[in-house]
Amino acid sequence: MAKAFKYGLKGITGYLEPAERDLLRSLIHDVISMLQPEDRDGQDPLAALIGLDMDVAEPSDRAVKRLLPNVMKDDAGASLEFRQLTERSLRETKIGALRAAALDLDKDEIVLTPDAARHWSMALNDVRLVLAERLDIQDEEDAEHVHLMQDWSQAEDVESYLALVYNFATWLQESLVQAMLQSMESRR
Amino acid sequence: MTLSVALGPDTQEGTRTGTAESTDSLTAPDIPWNLVIWNDPVNLMSYVSYVFQSYFGYSESKANKLMMEVHKKGRSIVASGSKEQVERHAVAMHGFGLWATVEKASGGNNGNSGGGQGKGKRG
C-alpha cells in the first residue's frame, strides 16, 4: 500500500508500491499524449518557436477542453485568439510537470523538493481532471457517488475500476497538498 | 470543489479577517479586468487554497475565504488588474488546472461580484 505524503526533515516524502507507480506512470502518459501538440506540415517554424499557433481550434474532446479551457466565458472569438497566443505554451507547461512527475516514479521512496512537489500536484490534478471527464463527474453529487467506491474487490467493470483509480489519485493528491501546505507554513 | 478529508477549524469562512480585506472603498476605474475562478466538482479545496497562497502570495485566511466563495457561490473574483495582467494569471491558473476566465470589471450582468480585491465581504 502507498503511504500518504508527509512533510518532515527530508522535505516532502511518500512511498508507492511498484504496481501503483506503474499505474500512475501510465495515467500520466495518457494525459501527456492528449496534450502533445500535433506536428503539422507547413507550420511556420518561427511561430512554433515562440509559441504561436494560428491553426489552433477549441478542443473537441471534453477532457482536453477541461485541461485547456476558454479564457472568456461568452466570447468564443476572443478565446480562440487567446488560444493562438498561449495554448501551445500551456500544453508545454502541463507536459513538463507531467514528465517531471513521471521521472520521480522511478524510485520506491519519493522525496520531493518544493518545485518537484508543485509539479506533482499539477500532474495529479490533470490526471484527476481527465479521469473525472471519463467518469462524467459533472457536479458535487456525481463526485460523492464516485467517492463511495473504495473497495477494489468491487471493481467489476471499467467504470468502477476508473472510479477506484480516481479515488486513489484524489487521496494521493490530498496528502501531497496537505504536506505542501505544511511545508509552506514552516517557511513563512 | 471536492473535499476528501475534514478541514481544520481555521478553514471556516470568516473566522479571521486580514488587513487585505479592508479595502471596501477602492473603486474600479483603474482596475478594469477581473480574474474569475469557477467552481468544479474535481479540484480539491486544499489544492485551490494552495494555488491562491503560492501563486498570488495571499495569506492562508484570504486564500481560504476566496476558495470557500468559489465553492459556495460557484465563482469568485480572485484578482483584478489590466487585461494583460489578468490574462497572464488565467494562463497560470489553467496551468494549475483551475477553471479560470477573465472579464471586464464593469460587466454588470454577471450577477455576482462578491469577493476579490476591493469588493469587500459578502454573506
Is the confidence at residue A4, as pLDDT, over 70? Answer: yes
CB A36 within 8 A of CB A94: no
Number of domains in chain B: 1
The pLDDT tens digits of the residues spanning B72-109 come to 999 999 999 999 999 999 999 999 999 999 999 875 44
Residue B9 lies in a domain: no
Residue A26 lies in a domain: yes
For the beta sheet containing A3-8, the strands, ordered from the edge strand earlier in sequence to the opposite edge, are A3-8, A11-15, A109-112
Q: Which of A51-55, A114-118, A164-168 has the least mean pLDDT?
A: A51-55
Which of B40, B56, B86 is most worth mutating to test chain A (most A CB atoms within 10 A of its CB)?
A: B40
B62 or B25: whose pLDDT is higher? B62
A151: containing domain: 3-37+92-187
Q: Which of A49-53, A180-184, B1-5, B8-12 has the least mean pLDDT?
A: B8-12
The pLDDT tens digits of the residues spanning A70-123 come to 999 999 999 999 999 999 999 999 999 999 999 999 887 899 999 999 999 999
Number of domains in chain A: 1
| Coil, helix or strand at residue B63 | helix
Residue B4 lies in a domain: no
Find the distance separating the first CA and the last CA of chain B, reported in whole Å. Answer: 19
Chain A residues within 8 Å of chain B (Cβ atoms): 66-73, 82, 86, 89-90, 93-94, 97, 118, 121-122, 125-126, 128-129, 132, 137-140, 142-143, 147, 170-171, 173-174, 177-178, 180-181, 184-185
Cβ contacts of residue B2 below 8 Å, gap of 6+?
A: A140, A143, A147, A170, B41, B42, B43, B44, B45
Query: Confidence band (pLDDT; 50, 70, 90) for B12?
Result: very low
Interface predicted TM-score (ipTM) of this complex, two decimals: 0.92
Residue A60 lies in a domain: no
- Chain B CB contacts of A170 below 8 Å: 2, 4, 44
B85: containing domain: 27-104
A188 or A104: whose pLDDT is higher? A104
Nearest residue of B to residue A144 by CA position?
Answer: B2
Please name which of A156, A129, A124 lies closest in space to residue A5, comparing C-alpha atoms. A124
Say yes or no for a CB contact (<8 Å) between B42 and A121: no
Residue A44 lies in a domain: no
